[in-house]
Amino acid sequence: MRIELVQLENIRSHVKSTVPFTRGFNCLVGGLGCGKSSVLYAIDFALFGDPLGRSYNYLLREDAETGKVTVQFSQNGKSYTISRGLKRRGKGISQDFDQLKLLEGEKLVASVKSEAVAEQLKAITGLDKDVFREIVWVRQERLKELLDAKPRERQKRLDELFGLSDYEKAWSNLAGYQREYEGEKRAYEKDPDVIGMEKLNMEYNQTAEEFSRLEIELQGIAKKLEEARKTLEEADLKLKELEEIRNLTEELKRKEAQLQVNLTNIEDASAVLAGKIEEKKNLIENFKQRLSTAEKQVESYKARLKEIGISPDQPAETLRRYLASFDDQIASMRGEKEAALKTVRTNQNRISSLPMENRCPLCLQQLTEEYKNNLLQRMRKENEEKQKTIMQLQHEIEELQRIRNIADLALSNMQTLTPKIKELKLRINEESEALANLLKEFDEKQRLEKELRVQLDAVRIEISKFDVSELEKARIHREQAFKHFYQIESDLKTKENRKRDLAKRLEEIKDRIDQAQQKVERMEKIVKAIEVIGGIRDAYRSIQPKLRSEFVKILRNFVQQVLDSLVGGEGPLLNVIIDETYTPYVKSESGVEREVSNLSGGERTLLAFAYRLGLGQLIMQSRTGHGLSMLLLDEPTESLGREDGSIDRLAEAISKFKAIEQIIAVTHSEAFAEKAEHVVRLEKEAGVSKISIER
């Protein structure tokens, strides 16, 4: 795998940056905090997506809502592009899976789902997150992490990366199967059927003999049962014939009782009808009397109307309008009366005030006594005439009111009586029809009564013909035949049940014998399986240290080669020894062994670098079939100085190290960057990283 281009949008101090890379030794150089390591963080995020800690706060720019990383890389001659995005949601930051895409050229290989992208990426590159973060990417201040680890922890971690822990897991998992088989074998050895197979065979033979004897007995009982069945069927037939006759007789008795009840009911119904007919006649007579009274009252009211000059034969609405005209006349007369009274009161007031007035209130002329006297006489005379008019109007009003009251009362009563008369006539007609129906029904009841008496006499004659004693004899004979049949049938059922029990027992014993035989065969297979599993476990337990020894030999040779190229001829030779826990030691030319903790800072850094390269090549070879093709280094010059040439030697060795197709190093050391084939300089202006390509 070789990275060609990295694009960052709102990642740490990068607002929008594009970083190109080439084959060979690439170096990102710049001052503290200018965004160098951010490029490596971005590559890790784009490839695998999982945060290095619990959240993505270390990755997304503080003032940004979204961020994105795109990495373009090549593998086996093909070009690929992978993109991932970040989105701020409230106080948290999460992946924006809509931005997640993996392309081969222009073709979309996987998107949206992290699992699908990770699966395709591993199929293309052979890398997963653990291998990348442990081997490919050497993070800042973690170059010596494996050297400083405790031997057992180092061995456990590297066994997992080499795949040797799978043998330990397989050995442990097989122990569970071995215990399970051994437990099953012990259970079979204690199984009562397996132990007592001979006893089961004897019981099976005895049960089979009893089953054969019982079958012979059942054949004889079946013949007796057939004879008893025929006798019972004949007795049943005779009894059923007599019971049918008895049932017919009982039916006739029920019919007799029903006829008697019907006859009594008809007699009672006839008596009830006679009473209803009499009541109906009285009711009709009562309605006729009430009708006559109402008609007389109507005639009297009509006579009153004629007396006051109103024709009673007019429609009710016309009479009502006529009465309304009375109200209009009365109202008009009352208005005239009120006007006359008002005139009288006005004149009285003027008569009272005129003697004291000297001028006319209208024209203001002087009033003479003669004029006053003449005016007083005219007003008094006018008042007398008005009083007569008032009295005459009052008399006419009272007369009109009296006539109207008489007419209103007569009309109201006539309107009340008219529907009553109509209803009485209707009821008389209805009740007359009902009386006719009752008379017709009464005649029908009399006819039915005669017919029922004739039927009752005929039924009683048929009932007297049945003899009960014959039925009793047939019933006794049938009971005896049934008891005999039941005894034989019960004996047959008992023996058949016994036969079924024996058959079931035979089947159960046979099943137990078969199952016991299967258990014996299974136990034999389990014994063989236990032996095989034990052999496999012993093989797994022995192969792990052998493979580890081989890995250690290869690792030691490779680390020594890398270390020799790093030290060169300018420093003392460091001979590397690696034990079974992957712990490296250094042996001097004089033969003295030193632990890593006793080395100088520069020596430890060179050894750590060689150790990581050796591990990377070996692990990638064992897991993917090809060596380490890419290495990411974050500040690899820790504890190295330019005075002793260690930085130069490390940079020189990396530049000449062709076994790895691409190395990307992040450094602040200008001396280290001088040896790089491709240098990208990063600077920070106003909090934003700026990219420039030096060569």
Beta pairing class for 78-89 and 688-693: unpaired
Q: Using 50, 70 and 90 to split pLDDT, how confident is the model at 548? A: confident
Q: Using 50, 70 and 90 to split pLDDT, how confident is the model at 43? A: very high
Q: pLDDT at position 568, please?
A: 62
Q: Using 50, 70 and 90 to split pLDDT, how confident is the model at 567? A: low
DSSP-assigned letter for residue 668: S
Q: pLDDT at position 446, please?
A: 84
The answer to whether the beta carbons of residues 239 and 464 sit under 8 Å apart is no
Question: How many Cα atoms sit within 13 Å of 141 on the Cβ side?
Answer: 1
Nearest to 46 by CA among 158, 125, 107, 135: 125
The answer to whether the beta carbons of residues 462 and 252 sit under 8 Å apart is yes
Nearest to 553 by CA among 563, 542, 545: 545
DSSP-assigned letter for residue 383: H
643 phi, psi to nearest 5 deg: -65, -40
For residue 362, pLDDT beyond 60? no
Distance (Å, rounded) from C-alpha 566 to C-alpha 654? 8
For residue 339, pLDDT beyond 90? no
Minimum mean pLDDT among 86-95, 266-275, 451-460, 615-624: which range? Answer: 615-624
Tokens of 163: 């795949």
**What pLDDT, in 10s, does the model give residues 374-383?**
777 888 887 7
Per-range mean pLDDT, top range of 333-337, 422-426, 512-516, 553-557: 422-426
Q: pLDDT at position 20, please?
A: 95
Which position has the higher pLDDT, 229 or 67? 67
Per-range mean pLDDT, top range of 20-29, 281-290, 618-627: 20-29
Same fold, 2-141+626-693 and 304-416: no
For residue 672, pLDDT beyond 60? yes
Distance (Å, rounded) from C-alpha 198 to C-alpha 519? 15
Q: Using 50, 70 and 90 to split pLDDT, how confident is the model at 361? A: low
The answer to whether the beta carbons of residues 670 and 693 sit under 8 Å apart is no
Per domain, the residue ranges of the chain are: 2-141+626-693, 304-416
Tokens of 199: 């006893």
Q: pLDDT at position 82, please?
A: 96
For residue 317, pLDDT beyond 80? no
Q: What architecture does CATH give domain 2-141+626-693? A: 3-Layer(aba) Sandwich (3.40)
**What pLDDT, in 10s, does the model give residues 487-534?**
888 888 888 888 888 888 888 888 888 888 888 778 888 888 878 877
**CA angle in degrees (0–180, nearest 5) for 457-463-465:** 115
Q: pLDDT at position 260, please?
A: 86
For residue 570, pLDDT beyond 70? no
Q: Using 50, 70 and 90 to split pLDDT, how confident is the model at 366? A: low
Q: Where are the beta strands (DSSP E) in 53-136?
A: 66-75, 78-89, 92-104, 107-111
Q: pLDDT at position 267, please?
A: 83
Q: pLDDT at position 365, please?
A: 62
The answer to whether the beta carbons of residues 69 and 84 sit under 8 Å apart is yes
For residue 424, pLDDT beyond 70? yes
Share of the chain above pLDDT 70, in %: 92
Which position has the higher pLDDT, 589 or 617? 617
The model scores a pTM over 0.85: no
Distance (Å, rounded) from C-alpha 382 to C-alpha 365? 24
Tokens of 461: 């004659």
Tokens of 134: 């442990």
Q: pLDDT at position 107, please?
A: 93
Distance (Å, rounded) from C-alpha 92 to C-alpha 62? 12
Query: Residue 655: exposed, middle, or buried by beta-carbon count in 10 A (0-12, 13-18, 19+)?
Result: middle
Distance (Å, rounded) from C-alpha 196 to C-alpha 666? 79
Per-range mean pLDDT, top range of 113-127, 228-242, 333-347: 113-127
Share of the chain above pLDDT 90, in %: 17
Neighbours of 255 (CB within 10 A): 15
Q: Would the CA dihedral through 361, 362, 366, 368 be positive or negative?
A: negative
Q: pLDDT at position 143, please?
A: 66
19 phi, psi to nearest 5 deg: -120, 115
**What pLDDT, in 10s, does the model give residues 155-192?**
787 777 777 777 777 777 777 777 887 887 788 778 88
Average pLDDT, the chain: 82
Q: Using 50, 70 and 90 to split pLDDT, how confident is the model at 18? A: very high
Yes or no: domain 304-416 corresponds to CATH 1.10.10.60? no
Question: How many Cα atoms sit within 13 Å of 367 on the Cβ side?
Answer: 18
The 3-class secondary structure across 416-461, one letter per residue, is: HHHHHHHHHHHHHHHHHHHHHHHHHHHHHHHHHHHHHHHHHHHHHH
**What pLDDT, in 10s, does the model give residues 71-95?**
999 998 999 999 999 999 888 999 9
Distance (Å, rounded) from C-alpha 413 to C-alpha 406? 11
DSSP string, 568-630: TTSS---EEEE-TT--EEEE-TTS-EEEGGGS-HHHHHHHHHHHHHHHHHHHHHHHHSS---E
For residue 141, pLDDT beyond 70? no
Tokens of 358: 């000297």
